[in-house]
Amino acid sequence: MLRRDFLKCSAAGAGMLLAGPRIAFAAPGVLDIFFNSDTNVIDFWTQVVKPGFEAANPGVTMNLVPGGGGSGINTLADRAYAAFQAKKDPQVDMLEAAAPFYPAGSLEAGLWIDFAKAGLSNYDKVNPVVVQSPALLPYRGSQVVLMYNSAVVKEAPSTFAGLVEWIKANPGQFAYARPDLGDSGACFVERALQEVTGQKPELFLPDNYTDDYAKPMFEKLWPLLKDIQPALFNGGEYTSGNTASIQLLASGAVAMTVAWSDMALQAMSQGVVPDTTAVAQLQDLAFTGGFSGVIVPSVAGNKEAALKLADFLISPDIQNRVVTDLGGFPGIKWEFLSKDLQEKFAKVTPKSIPIFPSTWEPVLFEAWYRNVASDLKR
């Protein structure tokens, strides 16, 4: 997720200084692609996307550049917008894990290509529920899952109520991250909010936040979170991020936590967590998730090649690899993936991936600090 590596973002300025001059000499046939995602994603592109695409399109080279986090990517988007207004080549052909909503007004002005109208041969396969904007092509998703040590937890809870019960029955064995620092923690708080309001994700929309509307719902949330607090890790302590949560699980300090599916699968394949680590998803209403997509400026110098690449990204071949190699969820409908994968992931993946609107988060998180975290007694 974008906010996952909070610290990386703060180093964005320095990253940009390095990235800036390097792309000043864009050549025809060289696609300049900037990444907002972590190194695991860039590795995936280097090892899977790049060789496949370059072999299929002789004469095209992909130049993969780490964009240096959110503000670094924003600076590139600013540059693309400036070039768009000046009708020049921005020397940016694609931004990864970025959104077309920045700079303000750029989407309406036509800076970002509308993929629905771009004639991509695979566009029909894209899962419509994960499309936030036609100018953003979702190609990989991840979802928050329960990550636990199956040597300790014989049967993982399958409902949120069951999870709460488990937490209280096993004091000190569960931890979640502070919501502003790790999105996995945010998703736990948000799922709890959905629980106390009757499991209706449709109550939370990007444009329906008002203090009056939210307050009664938040008031129902605090008792639940305060109730489980004494049974959390260390008598009510919260970790400082997604990685920190996994570290607690790795050291055996807790038996269960919440984690992003891709980070969990990667930790398991790298062996940094015990062999007995497993993941599970709530079956009543899944934890929220998020999708990352690519955007392409309409003035990009290598626009045609960039669109070909976009089409390649959402091809079933690459999407299968997103699941197997990246531990992510596909941007296209599951029915277009291989039969094996459909069967293997049937248990973990619910039919829908609820998305919690980010417009609600600033107030929710601040209120969490004031109502839940400040209640700590030591």
Partner 1 sequence: MSATAMSLRSGWRGLAFIAIPVTAIAIFLFYPAALSIIGTLVRPAPGGGYTFSLQSYIFFFTDSYSLANLARTLWTTVVTLVLLIAVNLPIALYMRFTKGRLAAVIQALALFPMFVPGIIICYALIRYMGPNGWLQSLLSLVGFHHYASPHLTPWGPVVGLIWDGMPLTLLILISGLSNVSDASIEAARDVGAGRLRILVSIITPEITHSLLIVSALNFLGIFGQVLMPFMLGPTNPEMMGPFMLRTFSSVRDPLQASTQATITFLICSLAGVAYVRSIARRQREDRT
Q: Which residues bind partner 1 (CB under 8 A)?
A: 7, 178, 180-181, 233-234, 237-240, 244, 247-248, 251-253, 361-363, 365-366, 369-370, 373-374, 376, 378
When the beta carbons of 241 and 289 are compared against partner 1, the nearer one is 241
When the beta carbons of 40 and 159 are compared against partner 1, the nearer one is 40
Q: Are 43 and 25 in contact (CB under 8 A)?
A: no
CB of 370 vs partner 1, minimal distance in Å: 6
When the beta carbons of 177 and 322 are compared against partner 1, the nearer one is 177
CB of 37 vs partner 1, minimal distance in Å: 19
When the beta carbons of 130 and 181 are compared against partner 1, the nearer one is 181
CA-to-CA distance for 149 and 277, rounded, in angstroms? 4
Can you state the angle between helices 183-196 and 211-228, rounded to 10 degrees? 100
CB of 164 vs partner 1, minimal distance in Å: 20
When the beta carbons of 141 and 241 are compared against partner 1, the nearer one is 241
Report the Cα 360 to chain-centroid distance in Å. 17
When the beta carbons of 18 and 376 are compared against partner 1, the nearer one is 376
Q: What pairing do the DSSP bridges indicate for beta strands 94-96 and 30-35?
A: parallel
Indicate the burial class of 170 (C-beta count within 10 angstroms; 0-12, 13-18, 19 or more): middle
CB of 193 vs partner 1, minimal distance in Å: 17
CB of 191 vs partner 1, minimal distance in Å: 19
Radius of gyration of the chain, Cα coordinates, nearest whole angstrom: 21
Query: How many residues make up the chain in this entry?
Result: 378
CA-to-CA distance for 372 and 227, rounded, in angstroms? 10
CB of 365 vs partner 1, minimal distance in Å: 5
Which H or E element spans position 293?
strand 289-295
- 3-class secondary structure, 234: helix
